Amino acid sequence: MSETIKHSVIKGGEFVIKETPYNEVFIPEEFDEEARMIRQTCLDFLEAHVLNNLESIDNQQEGLMEDLMNKAGELGMLGVSIPEQYGGFGKNFNTSMLVTDAVGGGYSFAVALSAHTGIGTLPILYYGNQEQKSKYIPKLTSGEWKAAYCLTEPNSGSDANSGRTSAKLNEQGTHYLLNGQKMWITNGGFADVFIVFAKIQDDKNLTAFIVEKDFGGITMNPEEHKLGIKGSSTRQVFFNDCPVPIENMLSDRENGFKIAVNILNIGRIKLGAATIGSSRTVLSTAIKYANERIQFNLPISKFGAIRYKLAEMATRLFATESAAYRAGQNIDDAYEALVSSGMDESKAKLKSVELFAIECAIIKVWCSEMLDYTVDEGVQIFGGMGYSAEAPMERAYRDARINRIFEGTNEVNRLLIVDMLLKRAMKGELDLMGPAQTVASELMSIPDFAEPDSSPFAAEKKVLANLKKAGLMIAGAAVQKLMMSLSKEQEILMNIADIIGYVYVAESVLLRAEKLEKTQPGEHADAAKQMAKLYLYGAIDKVHVAGKEALYSFAEGDELSMMLMGLRRFTKAQPFNVKAARQEIAKKLIEENKYCF
């Protein structure tokens, strides 16, 4: 209990200005036996029902996806985090992340399940009144009803609040009549319940409604033909005077945009978890192939170029996994603290995720790009067979691409990372300018030539602290120089977001490695240390490039020279033999014939 209270004082975004002790983070190795059993149930389900049916799923065999969802519901996979009173298991947020991770290797099935359990179900669970929750949540939890989320319109993608779907109260005052068009609706072809966003009269903001398919006035276009996730039902949905009872308004009038934003925060971090599971499957498949494929009388896993790829894939996966479950536990700890303070449980669920919206955006971006790197290198390891539809990499490659668009494009999420951080600073929730001014003063001082600390991870922690200084220096200077116009400088904002994101992921994997060395010493901890150092080493270069590009964009003269000098100082590190580290990581993967971390 004391650990939970300690954890709960951590603020979202605070990692930028604060050093986090290793004992204040959760690492995946700490999941209890029950959580691991739930995860294994999901993996067994994929093995038994999904992975041997991929062609039929991709061809959208009539009734197959619905049947799979029914089977998943019978096993409780649709209700892991749903309260027991509605038929769920009532597990915490991080356990639901673990389930999303496990199912992530299920290709199109993972998309259908995630849409149903996330954006389809959670708006009712978190924003519905008692009658709405009692009516809908048990059926969604069991799989009797399937859910879809109708937000996007042809002319409103990232700008969701500009949607034109309208809701007009009928003359009797009993129903709202919905009229409009929604597109890219996952599960649209078989959903029984739709969460629909529309505007009432001249309202500025959207209002949300719970719409049953049987209400009438709903038509659909044929299934979309997509690059990937072909087995996922994706359709345009049209509402033509669709009558929705007034009691099916979700939350308050004009609260729809807030619902959409908060649910998308959850969707972002859950998408990150799903890509982790998908990456784990892809990497294990690549390792097995590298051990089996013979060239020049040797398995290709013997060659340095292949080992480089395997080690780099594993390192990026291990690092982003560290960040995802760190943030997931932060959300759980914040929830417990909010409930303890007297907040309603549903409000606390939403508020806890909102508090870590910055981390959710980082995880969405870094995990989806990690998966793209992994599948691309997976195709390369398979060589010509990687390009063949007869081999597994082709489907994985195509299916991965959507994740940089889902739940807000990665470009939008990068802009949000900085925007949310600066807004919290302006509200006084985070003191960014104080540390930024301290760093600016440090530029004029003599560098610290003190004897280095010889304790484990001390050198890496110093590098990490300096990377944070680089980010604070550049962000602080950009705010002072550009002020209100900074919001229009998207390239600079994305440079700053890259620095923030690499810092968060590098710190997460470093803390995981430190905690493992302190609590579970051995081969696994040794490998974690190598991966943490390797990821940090790569992050140094990424931060340097992003920082240089940002500074070149707004600074000049002596100011530019001074900050470039500071950037060089803050991105220095002792030499590290990256080849030897990768060789050690790859050796372990090859011996285990799978991703084993």
C-alpha span between 272 and 276 (Å, rounded)? 6
Quick check: is 254 catalytic?
Answer: no
C-alpha span between 335 and 3 (Å, rounded)? 14
| Backbone dihedral angles phi then psi of residue 23, each to the nearest 5 degrees | -80, 0
Q: Distance of CA 378 to CAs 216, 257, 289, 383, 386, Å?
A: 46, 39, 10, 9, 7
Tokens of 33: 């036996």
Per-residue burial over 455-477, b if 16 or more Cβ lie within 10 Å, else e, is eebebbbbbbebbbbbbbbbbbb
- Are residues 197 and 166 in contact, defined by beta-carbon separation less than 8 angstroms? no
Tokens of 406: 């889902």
Q: Which 3 state secondary structure label does DSSP give 246? A: helix
DSSP 557: H
Q: Which 3 state secondary structure label does DSSP give 210? A: strand
Q: Distance of CA 250 to CAs 207, 231, 490, Å?
A: 8, 30, 34
Tokens of 136: 């809908």
- Per-residue HEC secondary structure of 45-92 comes to HHHHHHCCCHHHHHCCCCCHHHHHHHHHHHCCCCCCCCCHHHCCCCCC
- Are residues 206 and 152 in contact, defined by beta-carbon separation less than 8 angstroms? no
CA angle 233, 239, 245 (to 5 degrees): 110
Active-site option among 312, 321, 407, 517? 407
C-alpha span between 157 and 298 (Å, rounded)? 50
- Are residues 133 and 124 in contact, defined by beta-carbon separation less than 8 angstroms? yes
Angle separating helix axes 304-340 and 490-519, nearest 10 degrees: 90
- Are residues 206 and 196 in contact, defined by beta-carbon separation less than 8 angstroms? no
C-alpha span between 5 and 1 (Å, rounded)? 6
Length of the chain: 597
C-alpha span between 531 and 209 (Å, rounded)? 47
Q: Among all residues, which ones are annotated catalytic?
A: 407
